[in-house]
Amino acid sequence: MTDLSDLTAHRLLAGYASGDISPVEATRAALDRAARMDPGINAFVRVDSEAAIAQAEQSEARWQRGEPQGLLDGVPVTVKDILLQRGGPTYRGSWTVPDDGPWDEDAPSVARLREHGAVFLGKTTTPEFGWKGVTDSPRHGVTGNPYDPRLTAGGSSGGSSAAVALGAGPLSLGTDGGGSVRIPASFCGIFALKPTYGRVPLYPASAFGTLAHVGPMTRDARDAALMMDVISGADARDWSQLGPVDEGFRNGLDSGVAGLRIAYSPDFGGRVPVDPEVAGAVRRAVDRLADLGARVEEADPGFADPVEAFHVLWFSGSARVTQHLDGKQREMLDPGLREICEEGARCSALDYLAAVDVRMALGRAMGIFHETYDLLVTPTMPITAFEAGVEVPKGSGHTRWTGWTPFTYPFNLTQQPAASVPCGLTGDGLPVGVQLVGARHADRTVLRAAHALYTSGAAEITPPGGS
């Protein structure tokens, strides 16, 4: 029999509806998988088995009455420990966050999951305040990769990505301010979507401002579309949320890619060195899109690397999130975080506004680019997972995590939807991701193309452990 912890949310829900699977069985399977696999990975900050089983029992009763509460009733989910979840602390990877709370409020996306009957397994690991593209923190330690625990899961939503890859719940909520759902999705072989900014409400507002998005991390694009239909629901606490969508994200998902205009940029015009195995896997995914009827053209978006502007915005945001800490508390911070906070505190208002000017120019350039192309396709990452517990690969010459993530952070500056889709394994058995970037508000187009890769078999890879 198929292990229930290996099933997508869609397959679990079909089983609940037919009576072949119970939410309690599915929840126990996910909890058992977490208990068995997580000690070597460290994907979880906290697992609340008792509360999860109680929620699953309530869901089971509703299904037996033929009255499911919502679109995700009984589906096991996890939540990155950046987002508030009532009933327990949100530590954000930091010793500077006290235990006492009060922890009586859900973030908007968490509230929507609760309203739709999801079963909460626990909170997942993050670097301190989500500041970098790998997952390790002073408070919760290092998170390893399910394909090789000696390597990083990526970050900053590394715990969520590892949990989904391990089978500890098919759905997870992550956040993405510079690639933080896409980086770990690529490294761990799962799907992740950074929606258009404002499409998923966020509260409290991120210190990183309008760089920070909330998005689904899932087994496939179909599950992500389902999750988006839930978490995109309105919430009055977010003043920058977008208006409601005219149609759900599952609408048109099976329409295929025939006729879509796709620009393929393998290395941003020669600017980014890409590992040959990564490049080959991404090329094969692009060829599959062409075989499916997309009109693919090799084309570069043509912008200069906006990393300096991103650093001004990111480092000043980090300084802001730690501004209230005293000297003793600052000594408790991740040393790398402390460094960028000090740099960010030196940024002037004029520095910040100059970075905003770069951002606006980039957004305009990409808006014009998407008048010609429906999608831009790139590698998600130019490399595969490297040693866990370090910010940059040894010997790379990079000093900050942005040095090895050149394909992700530009699209936080522009607020565009972008997804990472698994597209193969290297000879060492490590996952590779292909990134699909759409125009602002074209989330459904991104999901539609990603789903086409799944239905064609191009996104199917051997899971961790080869099961």
Per-position pLDDT tens, the chain of length 467? 579 999 999 999 999 999 999 999 999 999 999 999 999 999 999 999 999 999 999 999 999 999 999 999 999 999 999 999 999 999 999 999 999 989 999 999 999 999 999 999 999 999 999 999 999 999 999 999 999 999 999 999 999 999 999 999 999 999 999 999 999 999 999 999 999 999 999 999 998 999 999 999 999 999 999 999 999 999 999 999 999 888 999 999 999 999 999 999 999 999 999 999 999 999 999 999 999 999 999 999 999 999 999 999 999 999 999 999 999 999 999 999 999 999 999 999 999 999 999 999 999 999 999 999 999 999 999 999 999 999 999 999 999 999 999 999 999 999 999 999 999 999 999 999 999 999 999 999 999 999 999 999 999 999 998 75
Q: Which residues pair with 119 in a beta bridge?
A: 76
Q: Note the pLDDT of residue 465.
A: 84
Q: Catalytic residues, which ones?
A: 80, 156, 180
- Under a CB-based contact definition with an 8 Å cutoff, are residues 436 and 446 in contact? yes
What does the pLDDT read at residue 420? 99
Q: What angle do CA 284, 285, 287 make, to 5 degrees?
A: 65
* Cα 139 to Cα 424: distance, rounded to the nearest angstrom: 34
Exposure string (b/e) for 250-263, b if CB count within 10 Å is 16 or more?
beebeebbeebebb
Number of domain units in the chain: 1
- On whether the CB atoms of residues 262 and 297 are closer than 8 A, the answer is yes
Give the Cα separation of 367 and 87 in Å (integer).
42
Q: Given this model, what pLDDT does residue 253 score? A: 98
Number of C-alpha atoms within 13 angstroms, CB side, residue 181? 32
Of the candidates 31, 7, 32, 39, the one whose C-alpha atom is nearest the C-alpha of residue 20 is 7
Instruction: Decide: 426 and 419 in contact? Cβ < 8 Å.
Output: no
Torsion over CA of 267, 273, 275 and 277, rounded to 10 degrees? 30
Helix spans in 292-416 (H) = 307-321, 327-330, 335-345, 349-372, 410-413
CA 133 vs CA 330, 337, 342, 387: distances in Å? 21, 12, 19, 13
Question: Taking the model in full, what pTM does it have?
Answer: 0.98
Please tell me the distance from the alpha carbon of residue 95 to that of residue 85, in angstroms, as a whole number: 18
State the CATH number of the domain containing residue 385.
3.90.1300.10
Domain range for 291 is 4-466
pLDDT at residue 246 in the model: 85
Distance in angstroms (rounded) separating the CA atoms of residues 160 and 175: 10
